[in-house]
Amino acid sequence: MIHLFHAQSLKSLTLLALAVLLSSCSSDSHDHDPQAESSTGPGGVLSSIAVTPGNSNIGMQQTRQFTAVGIYSNGSSEKLTESVTWSTSDENIVSISETGLATAHAEGEATITATMEGVSGSTLMRVSLSDDQGPSPPENPDPLPGTSAVIIDHTAANIDAVPAEWIEQAAGSLCIAYGHTSHGSQIIDGMAGLVDFRGSRYAFNASGAGDALELRDTPFPGANDLGSPSLTAWAGATRTYLDAHPEVNVVMWSWCGQVSDATESDINTYLSLMDTLEGEYPEVKFVYMTGHLDGTGLEGNLHRRNEQIRQYCRTRAKILYDFADIETYDPDGVFYGDRYPDDACAYDSDGDGSRDANWAIQWQNAHVEGQDWYDCYSAHSQPLNANLKAYAAWWLWARIAGWNGR
């Protein structure tokens, strides 16, 4: 009996250890099962509603499908698109159906709102008649005004919309320090590929030599990205670098998967540290960033934390590079956010809980390489993703340099 007891105990301990080991394994991409979180039912009291996509720009007579996700007091969430009451602030500009499908009718802006049980969530929709790019830069442009938020999302991933004079203005006026690891490198590799694709106008280097944009890639000592080696080390590394390099006037850091598991408190710490740095270095423009997609969809923790960052930036007139939003749409504006997309651009095409298609590969295959898109390295993802990240980055640099974005 004693030997049998010990054998059974050893077997149980071995199985327990194996279970613990397996549960502790994770990947940098946080590739969750699409149904893992969406199967959790709502609970508690409905506390907020997130409406996506956020702050859309579309043309006349175009349509856009909006999605509503309810966030409950116990932290659970549920898609409510067909349960909420949809409304628009101006039917003459944008109308919206009972299922959240909006149609643009006239130039202007309208607020799209989803309401349920007395709780509402909203987003702004802009309708444009033309591709007016705004005036040329003055001889001494004013710095980017701080009275309204600058949101760089999928609508900014259009390199042809950024005037050449503002590309040149950015190259001549900005000194950027950018901290990142693998996912954040998509911006750098995309920008490098863009030089080969579109020419030296988009050149960049660490010194600004040859009239190139001065962009210092991973220059910070003591931190790798916004979550490595800790969730706060980057702030101290930023101070150390800025104190030694007062010529830097733009600072940007990226995440590399940490937002997926971040708590509300973790994100509040990030936002607070950024705000503090802005106060300490008023001449520097600090760029906020969302975390990359992880396959958990609109019901997942990643989306909630990214929405937390977005809301903060919108209401406090911050500059946001919306990394996640950019990889949620293809270049034609097709939205994949409700199909559990991940950082590789894979998504669930048929709703069976498995990512079986890839929107970037599909778009690349349907278009001409070297004409519609360009090949380049794109960590964890496809070249098209890095293309879009580069286009949006140049939109960001031009906006910081003074371009009005129109």
| pLDDT 10s digits, 235-268 | 999 999 999 999 999 999 999 999 999 999 999 9
Instruction: Say whether pLDDT at 1 is over 90.
Output: no
pLDDT for residue 319: 97
* Helix H or strand E segment including 131: none
Q: How confident is the model at residue 45 (pLDDT cuts 50, 70, 90)?
A: confident
pLDDT at 146: 52
pLDDT > 60? residue 26: no
HSE at residue 17, side-chain half, CA atoms within 13 A, is 6
Q: In the sheet where 285-289 sits, what is the strand order? A: 150-152, 319-321, 285-289, 250-253, 175-179, 213-217, 204-205
Q: Is the confidence at residue 278, as pLDDT, over 90? A: yes
Distance from C-alpha of 214 to C-alpha of 238, rounded to nearest angstrom: 17
- Enumerate residues 6+ apart whose C-beta is below 8 A from 372: none
- pLDDT of residue 41 exceeding 70, the answer is no
What is the mean predicted confidence (pLDDT) over 98-105?
Answer: 91
SS3 at position 222: coil
pLDDT at 8 over 90: no
Which tokens go with 105? 């009718």
Q: Is the model's pTM score more than 0.75?
A: no
Cα dist from 218 to 180, 185, 238, whole Å:
6, 10, 11
pLDDT at position 64 is: 84
Structure confidence by residue, pLDDT tens digits, 218-233: 999 999 999 999 999 9
pLDDT of 57:
75
pLDDT at 374 over 70: yes
Q: Predicted confidence band at 75 (pLDDT cuts at 50, 70, 90)?
A: low
Question: What local confidence, expressed as pLDDT, does residue 171 receive?
Answer: 94
Taking Cα atoms as reference points, which of 265, 313, 305, 308 lies closest to residue 288?
Answer: 313
Segment holding 36, helix H or strand E? helix 34-38
Q: Give DSSP secondary structure letters for 240-256.
A: HHHHH-TT--EEEE--S
State the average pLDDT for the chain: 85
- Predicted pLDDT at 71: 76
Per-residue exposure over 40-63, b if at least 16 CB sit within 10 Å of its own CB, e if not:
eebeeebebbbbbbbbbbbeeeee
Domains within the chain, CATH numbers bracketed: 36-128 (2.60.40.1080), 150-401 (3.40.50)
Q: If you write DSSP's letter for every residue of 250-297 in order, what string do you get?
A: EEEE--SSGGGG--HHHHHHHHHHHHHHHHH-TTSEEEEEPPPPBS-G
Instruction: Return the sign of the alpha-carbon dihedral for residues 352, 354, 359, 364.
Output: negative
DSSP state of 382: -
